Amino acid sequence: MLDIFKMLFGGGEEVDLTEIMAKKPFLVDVRTPMEFNQGHPKGSVNIPLDRLTSNLQKFKGKNNIVVFCRSGSRSGQAKSILEANGFANVVNGGPWENVAKFTN
């Protein structure tokens, strides 16, 4: 049952970000601007989930993309949207604090 929730809400499996972060990925926080302003990983950009599809051009040419949010749910949805639009190297980084460990 837990796997179904992960599939539906994006939690997915835990990813070791060490190797991915060494590649200097495009870091995208899909939380709201208010959440982003309360804290975010250094070097990340804020593209809220509800504005993702209208900002797909910002992802063109990016070889490695890490999306993240508060819990991993919205970033799981963002990963699915990006993959459905042809972006291959997308990783759900989960909670923003996980990503921040590698940047701050």
Burial of 3 (0-12, 13-18, 19+ CB in 10 A): exposed
Which of 66, 103, 79 lies closest to 7, judged by CA? 79
Q: Which range has the worst mean pLDDT, 15-19, 42-46, 59-63?
A: 15-19
Give the per-residue pLDDT at 5. Answer: 45
Give the per-residue pLDDT at 16. Answer: 84
2-100: CATH topology is Oxidized Rhodanese; domain 1 (3.40.250)
Q: The pTM is what?
A: 0.86
Any idea where the domains of the chain sit in the sequence?
2-100
Q: Bridge partners of 29?
A: 46, 68
